[in-house]
Structure 1
Amino acid sequence: MNLAFSDEQNELRRTVRDFLDKNSPETEVRRLMETSEGYDPDVWHQLAAELGIAGLALPEEYGGAGCGFVELGIVLEEAGRALLCAPLLSTVVLAASTLLELGDAGACADYLPGIADGTTLATLALTESTGRWDDPHAITCAASPSPSAGSGSGSGGWTVSGRKSFVPDGQTAALLLVVARTDAGLSVFAVAADAPGVRREPRATLDQTRRQADLTFTAAPARLIGTDGAAWPALERVLDLAAIAVATEQVGAASRVLDMAVDYAKTRVQFGRPIGAFQAIKHKLADLHLAVESARSAAYHGLWAAAESPLELPAAASLAKACCGDAFVTAATENIQVHGGIGFTWEHPAHLYLKRAHSSRQLFGNAAQHRQRLAQVLLAELPA
């Protein structure tokens, strides 16, 4: 296992950071938080079409760059650092990975080129009222054959009915990959967001930088993706990739708030000295540095497993999500404490990171759930 980045990967990081420093400053994040879309289409077009970020990890045959999850992880880390408001996680990680993992060549040829060039926004609609990502038994949304639904990429002889909750970017995605139950088991269906029988409701969230929606389907025309009833093993891998993606975002954001705290401790003077000179602040920041760097190692190990070691992916994903989620929440909380009174104000960016920390810790399973899963995975590997 090699966790060192190549010169090309370091250059990718520099390019993405420069772009986000220019196009996703705090003022722009706050502006987008108040818009109905929650992102800037022009910035997304530049990221996808000009920088090639949307297709970075997609195969060249579908218009991608043919890179791997490590390169995508670099982008995600920088996006977390900048609190980027964009459909990066929903479209590039969830939707694109679902299409690839299901192995439906026709669906990949139809949908992935649009994702790669940024013209298609997509998401995965999996969770329902329980909010659980890891429980296939909680899925009640149903699909049934309907020959009268017609044929083609928009309606492939099926209809979907039911309700999905907590769908990332569900209010703006044009392509909805809906997990529904058929007589054969769990399957994934492509549903056009503007199809008849689809209703979308934006969901009020703590973290306004990442939008969610509730979706209602009433006999909506749908296209089966992959094999009927055989979707869950592929979805489990997609969720592992998504957990690693969020963990990498969390590391980028945690590193940013640590930098904010250190910079403030150097400049804020109290009793004639910078507050960073006081032992209590030194110890606090040293502990934060250790937590963030430990989380970074877990996230990078997860990226390596996603790219190179499928057998280690479940354990690596749960380790990364648990470690990075806790580190980000701790860093965001202590950042406010270091800043004192100003850290509690709306005008200061500290609360933006704190909200992202708490919301992302719940996304794709919280730390306790992933620690329990990690223990189960490791116990299963022990000799009898």
Structure 2
Amino acid sequence: MDRETRDMLLETADRFFTERCGRDVVNGVEKDIWPVDFWKAIEEMGLPLIAVDEDKGGAGGSLGDMLAVLRLAGAHAVPVPLAETALANLLVSAAGATPATGPSTVALGTLALAGNRLNGIVERVPFASVARRFITVANTSDGPKVAVIPASSATVTDTPSHAGEPYGTVSFENATCEFVGSSPLGVDRAYELAALVRAMQMAGAADKVLATAVEYCKQRVQFGRPISTFQAIQHMLAELASCVAATIASAEAAARDADEGGLAEGGGFSIAAAKTQASDFAQRIAAIAHQSMGAMGFTHEHVLHHYTRRLWVWRRDFGSETFWGEKIGSAYAKAGPQAMWPALSASRYAA
């Protein structure tokens, strides 16, 4: 999409999420109430198919377009598998197939694929119990393959996340795949893209946490004046703003690098850096926000926890800061000292 079209898309999506994704919807998912109408509206808007080619029923947008919408989804704590379905549809379409309708999720791990049969176990699969199908990428003797497995062929053990969303452990025991196709990207790349999706969602959620904390501190009056005028609170909000700014900047840079570098390999270092940054700051962002808002920030009635609990969960999804930090360190150690500066300055957004 060109810039004007993307801006129109984001404006429409933002307005839609504001109107349709209220606290009742988010809280309802925590009580196992699937928001049928909300998901139907999301599909009618074509949001899960943004990065799918038009000849496969999609909007013909880019990876960058998809990631921009998912950042908005993070900013609204969207409690349905929009991100997972959008990524799953992208993987399926990249393998030459037309994505099916309905909620899907990605199950990325060490899996064995032989013919159209899949074996293995994947833990912490988001929205496992509501997905109609699971999409994975597996390495085979013929190269990487994308596999689509219907929910009826998998066994799900529910383990809700700390955000109350239906995560679970998924077991594939000689599961029959409804589609298997050659993939232009391998297992590691699929995991990178999933990490990038989470980094963008975390950027959106972190931005909302900052706005919420700042607004509250401006309105909360203590000793006759807003607490935002107290020096201690100002220091806290300044630190919060710096953490959020770093999270957003690294995620946006990674999104641009990945979009411009190509689906199969673009922005690998930037993605690792962005997920490391976002996961590392997630706990600090949540802690400062709750501390600045005092008791109000800890109540279930306030919306702050919709974002901070998701930051805690997304911090671990598709690799924590430790996982990606080790990846970066190992790559530098293997490449040698001369490789560090070229890698750091490779992105034209590095400055």
1:285 matched to 2:237? The reply is yes
Check conservation: 1:314, 1:377, Cα contact below 8 A. no
SS of the equivalent of 1:176 reads: strand
Deviations 1:263-284 (A, max 9, x none): 1111111111110001111111
Measure, in 2, the Cα distance between the counterparts of 1:7 and 1:218.
47
Determine which of 7, 22, 42 is the counterpart of 1:47. Answer: 42
Determine which of 16, 22, 33 is the counterpart of 2:13. Answer: 16
> How many percent of aligned residue pairs carry the same amino acid?
27
Measure, in 2, the Cα distance between the counterparts of 1:178 and 1:258.
35
Deviation, 1:226, is 2.9
Measure, in 1, the Cα distance between the counterparts of 2:73 and 2:46.
15
1:216 matched to 2:143? The reply is no
Measure, in 2, the Cα distance between the counterparts of 1:277 and 1:67.
45
| Structure 1 unaligned residues grouped into runs of 5+ | 128-138, 146-157
Deviations 1:153-178 (A, max 9, x none): xxxxx333443322222212222235
1:96 matched to 2:89? The reply is yes
In structure 2, what residue type is equivalent to 1:176?
Answer: F
The residue aligned with 1:194 is 152
The residue aligned with 1:177 is 135
Counterparts in 2 of 1:168 and 1:381: CA distance versus 1, 3 Å: farther
Counterparts in 2 of 1:46 and 1:233: CA distance versus 1, 3 Å: closer
Determine which of 55, 65, 76 is the counterpart of 2:59. Answer: 65
Tell me whether 198-207 or 336-345 shows the greater mean CA deviation.
198-207
- TM-score normalised according to structure 2 size: 0.86
Determine which of 352, 355, 372 is the counterpart of 2:326. Answer: 372
Measure, in 2, the Cα distance between the counterparts of 1:223 and 1:73.
27
Counterparts in 2 of 1:299 and 1:181: CA distance versus 1, 3 Å: closer
In structure 1, what residue type is equivalent to 2:24?
Answer: T
The residue aligned with 2:161 is 205
Measure, in 2, the Cα distance between the counterparts of 1:307 and 1:162.
31
Measure, in 2, the Cα distance between the counterparts of 1:184 and 1:13.
40
Deviation, 1:23, is 0.7
Counterparts in 2 of 1:188 and 1:12: CA distance versus 1, 3 Å: closer
- For 1:290-305, what aligned pairs fall within 5 Å after superposition? 290-305=242-257
| Structure 2 unaligned residues grouped into runs of 5+ | 340-351
The residue aligned with 1:78 is 72
Deviations 1:282-336 (A, max 9, x none): 1111221122122211111111112102455110111111112233332222111
SS of the equivalent of 2:156 reads: strand
Deviation, 1:188, is 4.4
Counterparts in 2 of 1:36 and 1:202: CA distance versus 1, 3 Å: farther
The residue aligned with 1:314 is 268
Counterparts in 2 of 1:161 and 1:375: CA distance versus 1, 3 Å: closer
Check conservation: 1:200, 1:214, Cα contact below 8 A. yes
Measure, in 1, the Cα distance between the counterparts of 2:170 and 2:33.
16
In structure 2, what residue type is equivalent to 1:203?
Answer: T
The residue aligned with 1:136 is none
SS of the equivalent of 1:307 reads: helix
Deviations 1:233-256 (A, max 9, x none): 522222211111111111111111
Tell me whether 275-284 or 217-226 shows the greater mean CA deviation.
217-226
CA RMSD of aligned residues (A): 2.5
- For 1:99-138, what aligned pairs fall within 5 Å after superposition? 99-101=92-94, 103=95, 105=96, 108-109=97-98, 112=99, 114=100, 119-127=101-109
Deviation, 1:184, is 6.9
Aligned length: 335
Measure, in 2, the Cα distance between the counterparts of 1:247 and 1:257.
15
Measure, in 2, the Cα distance between the counterparts of 1:77 and 1:233.
23
Counterparts in 2 of 1:294 and 1:219: CA distance versus 1, 3 Å: closer
- TM-score normalised according to structure 1 size: 0.79
Check conservation: 2:74, 2:205, Cα contact below 8 A. yes
Check conservation: 1:97, 1:238, Cα contact below 8 A. no
Deviation, 1:99, is 2.2
Determine which of 10, 20, 27 is the counterpart of 1:30. Answer: 27
Counterparts in 2 of 1:258 and 1:48: CA distance versus 1, 3 Å: same
